[in-house]
């Protein structure tokens, strides 16, 4: 039996990269999926492909930094599917700069997309999980949420906050049978990683080769992270909450 049969999952940033891979995997495993993203064309395409393959999926355009849009996305999903069992907080951005070279507007935007979005989606989704008798929240942090990185001050701060927010949410909602965990991916082959190469002024080839310098000698694939998300969202992780799962090919091993 599909491991998410009968479950209903909301995925932010589901139009591309890790979010798209996770949406497809969750759908393959039986979940009804709601893709929330600002990329309307990409998000609708993912939903249409899942539907064409016999699954259930909808797309809702959502700016995850907006309380009104996050509330609308949750309410529309509940109206369509009758509830929510899984929240995958995946939307994220990176700004490669020191504190000196980061503007206040850039700092606020990174923190809003990477951290505030988790607060907002949790605020509106968790009451429906409580109503349903439980659920699973999976947040996406980063290896740089556990160790520092050069010229990425706002990103490191935001991803460290995700780790701590995950722990706080796990403590607050365990009695509601809601598990809250986070994944710390290493460099993964997504549009964001390629944008990062441009930000630091390196060719994609050189940047990706440097990122692959880890024990497994490659960068991550979106499917690698999707499999970790599936584990944490499924009953296989029924006794796992408040944890941080590093999925980085050994990059933080030593």
Burial of residue 254, with CB atoms counted within 10 A of its CB: 0-12 exposed, 13-18 middle, 19 or more buried: exposed
Mark whether 72 is an active-site residue. Answer: no
Do the beta carbons of residue 208 and residue 197 sit within 8 Å?
yes
Please give the Cα distance from 5 to 1 (Å, whole number). Answer: 7
Please give the Cα distance from 247 to 252 (Å, whole number). Answer: 9
CA–centroid distance for 145 within its chain = 14
Rounded to 5 degrees, φ, ψ at 197 are: -60, -45
CA–centroid distance for 68 within its chain = 20
- Nearest C-alpha neighbor of 241 from the set 194, 193, 172, 152: 172
Active-site entry in 72, 128, 155, 231: 155
Paired tokens of 180: 């809250």
Catalytic residues: 155
């Amino acid at each position: 039996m599909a491991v998410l049969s009968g479950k209903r999952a909301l995925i932010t940033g589901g139009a591309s990269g890790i979010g798209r891979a996770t949406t497809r995997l969750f759908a393959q495993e039986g979940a009804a999926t709601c893709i929330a993203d600002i990329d309307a064309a990409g998000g609708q395409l993912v939903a249409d492909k899942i539907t064409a393959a016999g699954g259930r999926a909808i797309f809702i355009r959502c700016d995850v930094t907006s309380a009104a849009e996050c509330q609308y996305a949750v309410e529309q999903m509940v109206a369509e599917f009758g509830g929510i069992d899984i929240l995958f907080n995946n939307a994220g951005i990176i700004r490669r700069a020191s504190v000196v070279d980061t503007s206040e507007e850039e700092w606020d935007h990174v923190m809003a997309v990477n951290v505030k979005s988790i607060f907002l989606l949790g605020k509106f989704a968790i009451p429906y999980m409580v109503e349903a008798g439980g659920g699973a929240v999976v947040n996406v942090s980063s290896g740089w949420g556990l160790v520092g990185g050069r010229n990425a001050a706002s990103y490191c701060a935001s991803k460290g906050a995700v780790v701590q927010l995950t722990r706080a949410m796990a403590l607050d909602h365990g009695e509601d049978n809601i598990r809250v965990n986070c994944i710390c991916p290493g460099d993964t082959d997504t549009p964001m990683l390629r944008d990062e190469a441009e930000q630091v002024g390196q060719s994609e080839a050189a940047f990706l080769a440097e990122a692959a310098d880890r024990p497994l000698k490659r960068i991550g694939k979106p499917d690698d992270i999707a499999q970790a998300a599936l584990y944490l969202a499924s009953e296989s992780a029924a006794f796992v909450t408040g944890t941080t799962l590093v999925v980085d090919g050994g990059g933080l091993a030593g």
